[in-house]
C-alpha cells in the first residue's frame, strides 16, 4: 500500500503498526500530488490518504488516484468526522473513511477489509451518515412501514440491527454480542435480504421507521 500524510511522525507510526500486522507499505507521500504519482508508479492495492495536506488536498487526489490505477482501493484516514468531509471523500471515490483515533489493534483489520472491497467506516462516521440519512428520509415524508408488514427478524438479528443503528461497525457488533466477524457479516447479509435493502444506511433507516431501533 501507499501512505499519504504530511506528518512524518504519524506516517512513521502508522507504517510500523501496519508492517507489524503483516501488511506491506511500498511507498509514502506527503501530499495528494505525490500520492497520485506513487500510485501510478507502484500500482498498490490500497492507498491510505489524509484529507488535509499542504499543496494538494487529499480529497482532490482521490479521483486522480482511481483514474491512474482503477483497481486501487482508497482509504481516507483523517481527523475529521464532519459529514461534509465524509460525503465529499466518498463521493470522490474513497471506499472507506476512518478517523485517526481508530484503535491501532483495529486499524490493520479495517484496511484489510477495504483491500477486499468492503466499505469500512469508523463508528462516529457511521453514526454521522446514519443520522443524516435518517433526517433526510424522515424530512422527505416517506411512509413508515407498519409492524404488521415487517419481515420476521430473529432476536439476534434484531440485536445486530439495533447496534447498527447506534453506529457500530462489524467488529464492535461482534465484541458486543460475543460472536465472530464472519457471523456478524452473515447476520448482515440475512438482514439486508429480509428488509430488501442494499446496505447499512438503508437498513438503519428501515429499522428506525419501523420501530425496530
Which of 60, 63, 62, 37 is closest to 48 using CA atoms? Answer: 62
C-alpha to C-alpha distance for 149 and 172, rounded to whole angstroms: 30
Q: What is the pLDDT of residue 135?
A: 61
Same domain, 105 and 193: no
Q: What is the pLDDT of residue 148?
A: 41
Torsion angle (degrees, nearest 10) of CA 204, 210, 212, 213: 60
Alpha-carbon distances of 118 from 34, 35, 110, 165, 170, rounded to whole Å: 26, 22, 9, 19, 11
**What stretches in the chain show pLDDT beneath 50?**
142-148
Same domain, 115 and 44: yes
Where is the domain boundary, 92, 120, 148?
Answer: 120
Same domain, 88 and 182: no
Where is the domain boundary, 53, 86, 120?
Answer: 120
Q: What is the maximal distance between C-alpha atoms in the chain?
A: 57
Same domain, 6 and 98: yes
Which of 46, 83, 86 is closest to 66 using CA atoms? Answer: 46
Same domain, 73 and 114: yes
**CB neighbour burial string for 156-169, b if at least 16 within 10 angstroms, e if fewer:** ebebbbbbbbbbbb
Same domain, 35 and 101: yes
Same domain, 48 and 93: yes
Same domain, 107 and 139: no
Q: What is the pLDDT of residue 44?
A: 93
Do residues 87 and 60 lie in contact, with contact meaning Cβ atoms separated by under 8 Å? no
- The tally of domains found in the chain comes to 2
**101 backbone dihedrals φ, ψ, rounded to 5°:** -90, 10
Q: What is the pLDDT of residue 139?
A: 59
- Which residue range is the domain that position 165 belongs to? 127-210
Element (H, E) at 49: strand 46-49
The model's pLDDT over 34-86, given as tens digits with 9 standing for 90+, comes to 999 999 999 999 999 999 888 878 889 999 999 888 889 999 999 988 878 88
Residues with Cβ < 8 Å from 204, sequence gap 6 or more? 130, 133, 134, 161, 164, 165, 213
CATH assignment at residue 54: 3.40.50.2300
Indicate the pTM of the whole model: 0.67
Same domain, 110 and 160: no
Q: What is the pLDDT of residue 31?
A: 92
Q: What is the pLDDT of residue 137?
A: 57
Same domain, 112 and 37: yes
Same domain, 16 and 116: yes
Amino acid at each position: 500500500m501507499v501512505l499519504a500524510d504530511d506528518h512524518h511522525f504519524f506516517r512513521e507510526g502508522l507504517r510500523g503498526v501496519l508492517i507489524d500486522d503483516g501488511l506491506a507499505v511500498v511507498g509514502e507521500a506527503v501530499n495528494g500530488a505525490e500520492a497520485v504519482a506513487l500510485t501510478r508508479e507502484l500500482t498498490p492495492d490500497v492507498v491510505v490518504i489524509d484529507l488535509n495536506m499542504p499543496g494538494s488536498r487529499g480529497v482532490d487526489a482521490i479521483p486522480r488516484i482511481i483514474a491512474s490505477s482503477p483497481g486501487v482501493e482508497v482509504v481516507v484516514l483523517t481527523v475529521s468526522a464532519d459529514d461534509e468531509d465524509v460525503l465529499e471523500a466518498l463521493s470522490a471515490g474513497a471506499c472507506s473513511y476512518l478517523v485517526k483515533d481508530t484503535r491501532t489493534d483495529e486499524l490493520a483489520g479495517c484496511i484489510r477489509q477495504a483491500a477486499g472491497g468492503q466499505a469500512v467506516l469508523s463508528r462516529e462516521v457511521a453514526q454521522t451518515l446514519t443520522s443524516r440519512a435518517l433526517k433526510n428520509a424522515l424530512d422527505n415524508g416517506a411512509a413508515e412501514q407498519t409492524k404488521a408488514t415487517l419481515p420476521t427478524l430473529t432476536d439476534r438479528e434484531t440485536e445486530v440491527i439495533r447496534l447498527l443503528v447506534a453506529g457500530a461497525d462489524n467488529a464492535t457488533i461482534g465484541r458486543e454480542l460475543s460472536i465472530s466477524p464472519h457471523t456478524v457479516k452473515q447476520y448482515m447479509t440475512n438482514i439486508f435480504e429480509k428488509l430488501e435493502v442494499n446496505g447499512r444506511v438503508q437498513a438503519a433507516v428501515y429499522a428506525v421507521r419501523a420501530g425496530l431501533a
